[in-house]
Amino acid sequence: MPRPATIHICSECGAGTPKWHGRCPTCGAWNTLVEEQAPSPAAQSERGAGAATPGVPVPLSEVEASRTTRLRTGIGELDRVLGGGLVPGALVLLGGSPGIGKSTLTNMVLGNLQAEGTRTLYVSGEESAEQVRLRAERLGPGALSVPILAETDLQRIVATLQQHGPEVCVIDSVQTLRAADLTGAPGTVGQVREVTAKLMEIAKQRGIAVVLVGHVTKEGALAGPRVLEHLVDCVLQFEGERERSYRELRAIKNRFGSTSEAGLFEMREGGLVEVLDASARFVAEATRAPGSVVLAAMEGSRPLLVEVQALVAPSELEQPRRVVSGIDRNRLALVLAILARHGGRGWSPRPPADVFVNVVGGVRVDEPGVDLAIALAVASASRGTPVMRPGQIAPLACFGELGLTGELRWVGHPQRRLAEAAKHGCHGVIAPTGSGDGAREAGTLREALDLALAPRAGAAPAPARAAA
């Protein structure tokens, strides 16, 4: 039987099959098989030639752990997300939507390192050297001193790395590089896998910290095969909206640090600027209107105050809409169900009603402590009652996770959240039982609603909206 000339590779798990299937036989993912040129028998025989030499296992107690000296990038938010800076010989994958600021961030990093005497190299596969210069002119003189190579051929890039020996190299982007010994187009599963493996080999041999800039799909996930994320040492996700100035950097994977840290930036004319006290801005911009509440969240090890807004409007659709920005849509559905079942006193939206929830500033919150803020914002918007304490100028803050039986559950680092809220004038934070001094504790969702939205003394109760 003749050997097939092509093979189908799964972009999720990297498994190969001679025939195309709608679903990968190995990992079960749908529509992930991509046709590629099958490797020649000679190449396979060369890989398996020779007998392997057995290794010598060593007990972990006898392994000497050497302390690695990291390269500081000059950007504190980025260094904190990386775990202290770039590690020599590490591969870092930086992903984000087009125009979010990936190239600006990497240009700033190389400019800072070059100014400190670190040997750097910027490899551009998408733009010419002239285009990169136009962007670097607004980033300062350090960015203009970075050597650049506009090239997409992998062999020439590897030869340049071997000859010049930079300490830090940025590849923008990995989907544009092409290995000459493969027949696929740049960006295909085989090309991305081969290019990344070769760059990883040269990075480990020479001790070069390589930053790979990657594309994202329509869903926001990193483009290319899933094996790409397994090969690299660190995966960073640059999030935000192009129409807004705030950008958030998160670590999805980090072999040399924590994955719970996040960095906040603001895009300005001179490039990205670190936002060191974002809570002050968000609290000052809080509207204090019905449907607005301040959440005392935790971004890694740093407390952050953000405004959560909700809008409840009459719906003309048979299935009312649930639209979110900055939180998970499934979390909103869960909170609405708990609010309807355990809220009481008609605080939940009356169907049919559309519900919109937004975290102001383009920030994304993934922690469970956002549950109470969503519930209070939706209840406030539903009844037209602002979430404010009598005589208090600053907005009311809260945090807590909601259980399916209506209880308010404890979340991590309550004292740090309370201290951040008190620092910006948000006293009397509504929090779960056991949060500590300075909190107005509530054991259930109904108790929290009574604390935040109960009728004030001497004030007429707001009429309920029939359409909501």
Secondary structure in 3-state letters for the chain: CCCCCEEEEECCCCCEECCCCCECCCCCCECCEEEEECCCHHHHHHHCCCCCCCCCCCCHHHCCCCCCCCECCCCHHHHHHHCCCECCCCEEEEEECCCCCHHHHHHHHHHHHHHCCCCEEEEECCCCHHHHHHHHHHHCHHHHCCCEEECCEHHHHHHHHHHHCCCEEEEECHHHCECCCCCCCCCCHHHHHHHHHHHHHHHHHHCCEEEEEECECCCCCECCCCHHHHHCCEEEEEEECCCCCEEEEEEEEECCCCCCCEEEEEEECCEEEECCCHHHHHHHHCCCCCCEEEEEEEECCEEEEEEEEEEEEECCCCCCCEEEECCCHHHHHHHHHHHHHHCCCCCCCCCCEEEEEEECCCCCCCCHHHHHHHHHHHHHHHHCCCCCCCCCCCCCEECCEECCCCEEECCCCHHHHHHHHHHCCCCCEEEECCCCCCEEEECEHHHHHHHHHCCCCCCCCCCCCCCC
Q: How far apart are CA 246 and CA 336, in angstroms?
A: 28
Give the pLDDT score at 389: 63
Lowest mean pLDDT across 220-224, 380-384, 456-460: 456-460
* Range 188-217 average pLDDT: 88
Give the pLDDT score at 55: 85
Q: Please determine, for residue 44, whether its predicted confidence score (pLDDT) is greater than 60.
A: no
Q: Please determine, for residue 397, whether its predicted confidence score (pLDDT) is greater than 80.
A: yes
Which of 234, 250, 276 is the C-terminal boundary of a domain? 276
Q: Please determine, for residue 235, whether its predicted confidence score (pLDDT) is greater than 60.
A: yes
Query: 51 or 277, which is more confident?
Result: 277
Give the pLDDT score at 111: 94
Length of the chain: 468
pLDDT tens for 136-180 read 998 878 899 999 999 999 999 999 999 999 999 999 989 899 988
80 touches 263 (CB < 8 A)? yes
Task: Quote the strand ranges of 188-283, DSSP E.
Answer: 209-214, 234-240, 246-254, 262-268, 271-274
Q: 284 and 327 in one domain?
A: yes
CB atoms within 10 A of CB 427: 16
**Domain hosting residue 429, numbered range:** 279-453
* Range 62-90 average pLDDT: 90
Name residue 278's amino acid.
A
Phi, psi of 440 (to 5 degrees): -95, 100
User: What band does 468 get if pLDDT is binned at 50, 70 and 90?
Assistant: very low
Give the pLDDT score at 214: 87
Domain membership flag for residue 466: no
pLDDT tens for 287-343 read 889 999 999 999 878 899 999 999 999 988 888 999 999 999 999 999 999 999 998
Residue 85 belongs to domain with CATH number: 3.40.50.300
Q: What percent of the chain has pLDDT over 90?
A: 48
Give the pLDDT score at 467: 36
Q: How far apart are CA 287 and CA 281, in angstroms?
A: 12
Lowest mean pLDDT across 160-174, 211-225, 281-295, 357-371: 211-225
Q: 267 and 290 in one domain?
A: no
pLDDT tens for 4-15 read 577 888 877 777
Q: 297 and 206 in one domain?
A: no
Q: 419 and 346 in one domain?
A: yes
Q: How far apart are CA 183 and CA 24, in angstroms?
A: 23
Domain membership flag for residue 468: no
Domain membership flag for residue 306: yes
Residues linked to residue 432 through DSSP beta bridges, in sequence order: 442
**Residue 367, token pair as written in the block:** 């922690």
Q: 320 and 215 in one domain?
A: no
Give the pLDDT score at 221: 62
Q: How far apart are CA 247 and CA 127, in angstroms?
A: 23
Which of 276, 291, 312 is the C-terminal boundary of a domain? 276
Give the pLDDT score at 316: 85
Domain membership flag for residue 120: yes
Q: 219 and 113 in one domain?
A: yes
> How many independent structural domains does the chain possess?
3
Give the pLDDT score at 391: 60
Which of 226, 247, 276 is the C-terminal boundary of a domain? 276
Domain membership flag for residue 459: no
Domain membership flag for residue 252: yes
Phi, psi of 433 (to 5 degrees): -60, 135
Q: 224 and 121 in one domain?
A: yes
